[in-house]
């Protein structure tokens, strides 16, 4: 049985104080969504304090990124082991903003995946196509290549610990959303592609939708058989919206 998951990516938002308040509110209301795994991903600066706030709750903690290296002279970087030390159990990797603004490649992401598994962090691994790639009917080709060059390198045990997030890049922060049929089509394609390498294990992997998901469209998106939840951006900063999305199953 695949997990139903709603993960909130706070991105570069909130102060530590506001983050603690937001996490506390999510934890307090998490009992209303007992059948859904809630994950919050605050900025690095918040992880320890938010982790303390979430102790004893059903809400899991995630980082938004990690370093490619274990330790050393890498000013400004945060190692996966440091993240795990805060109580986090997940880490977002390959987000479109990381690929676009910071030049992350499959080579980079393979190193980060290895670091996550070495520190017992489960990756929330993002894939997705840009608008021009969809309009030129290359969206399946792009997403398949992203999976083949990274996730296909995982062992069966590592794959079992992985969550996939599909991001139609053209729908992130734009207010545009993939139609439910478009989301299902891509999610089904992703699952079929993963099955080429991992067989029936692909049936057990949660695939999240990550493109301007909000309380008004979540129910239609989550009603699709291969959409197992959402990676939520802006709406995760408002506790009522975040919980409303989780209640949409």
Tell me the pLDDT tens digit for each residue of 183-210. Answer: 999 999 999 999 999 999 999 999 999 9
pLDDT of res. 60: 98
pLDDT of res. 2: 94
DSSP lists the bridge partners of residue 97 as none
Q: What is the rounded distance in angstroms from the CA atom of residue 62 to the CA atom of residue 37?
A: 12
Q: What is the rounded distance in angstroms from the CA atom of residue 221 to the CA atom of residue 104?
A: 28
CB 5 within 8 A of CB 208: yes
Domains with residue ranges and CATH for the chain: 5-246 (3.20.20.70)
Q: What is the rounded distance in angstroms from the CA atom of residue 106 to the CA atom of residue 62?
A: 21
Q: What is the rounded distance in angstroms from the CA atom of residue 203 to the CA atom of residue 206?
A: 8
Q: How confident is the model at residue 212 (pLDDT cuts 50, 70, 90)?
A: confident
pLDDT of res. 193: 98
pLDDT of res. 176: 73
Residue among 46, 95, 139, 187 flagged as catalytic? 95
Place of tokens 């603690």: 20
For residue 1, give every residue at least 6 positions away whose Cβ sits within 8 Å of its Cβ, in sequence order, or none: 204
Q: Is 46 a catalytic residue?
A: no
Q: What is the pLDDT of residues 7-61, one digit of tens each?
A: 999 999 999 999 999 999 999 999 999 899 999 999 999 999 999 999 999 999 9
Select from 219, 223, 235, 175 the least CA-distant residue to 8: 235
Q: Is 185 a catalytic residue?
A: no
Residue among 97, 104, 129, 167 flagged as catalytic? 167
213-216 own/partner pairs: CB under 8 Å, 24+ apart = 213/177, 213/245, 214/177, 214/241, 214/245, 215/241, 215/244, 215/245, 215/248
Q: What is the pLDDT of residues 52-89, one digit of tens each?
A: 999 999 999 999 999 999 999 999 999 999 999 999 99
Query: How many residues make up the chain in this entry?
Result: 249
Percentage of the chain lying above the pLDDT 70 cut: 99
Q: What is the rounded distance in angstroms from the CA atom of residue 54 to the CA atom of residue 209?
A: 24
Q: What is the rounded distance in angstroms from the CA atom of residue 233 to the CA atom of residue 10?
A: 6
DSSP lists the bridge partners of residue 38 as 6
Two structure tokens written together for 85: 């030390």
Mean pLDDT, the chain, whole residue set = 96
pTM of the model: 0.97
């Amino acid at each position: 049985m695949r997990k139903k998951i709603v993960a909130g990516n706070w991105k570069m938002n909130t102060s530590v104080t506001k983050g603690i308040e937001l996490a506390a509110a999510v934890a307090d209301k998490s009992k209303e969504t007992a059948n859904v795994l809630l994950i919050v991903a605050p900025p690095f600066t918040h992880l320890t304090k938010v982790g303390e706030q979430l102790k004893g709750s059903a809400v899991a903690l995630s980082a938004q990124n990690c370093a490619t290296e274990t330790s050393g002279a890498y000013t400004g970087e945060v190692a996966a082991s440091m993240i795990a030390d805060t109580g986090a159990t997940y880490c977002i990797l390959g987000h479109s903003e990381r690929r676009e603004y910071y030049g992350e490649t499959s080579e980079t992401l393979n190193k980060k995946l290895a670091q996550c598994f070495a520190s017992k962090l489960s990756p929330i691994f993002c894939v997705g196509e840009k608008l021009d790639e969809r309009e030129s009917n290359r969206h399946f080709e792009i997403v398949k290549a992203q999976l083949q060059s990274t996730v296909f390198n995982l062992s069966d045990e590592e794959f079992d610990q992985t969550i996939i997030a599909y991001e139609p890049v053209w729908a992130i922060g734009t207010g545009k959303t993939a139609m439910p049929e478009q989301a299902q089509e891509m999610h089904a394609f992703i699952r079929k592609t993963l099955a080429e390498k991992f067989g029936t294990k692909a049936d057990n992997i949660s695939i999240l939708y990550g493109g301007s998901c909000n309380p008004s469209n979540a129910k239609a998106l989550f009603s699709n058989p291969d959409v197992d939840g959402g990676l939520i951006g802006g709406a995760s900063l408002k506790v009522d919206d975040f919980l409303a999305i989780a209640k949409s199953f």
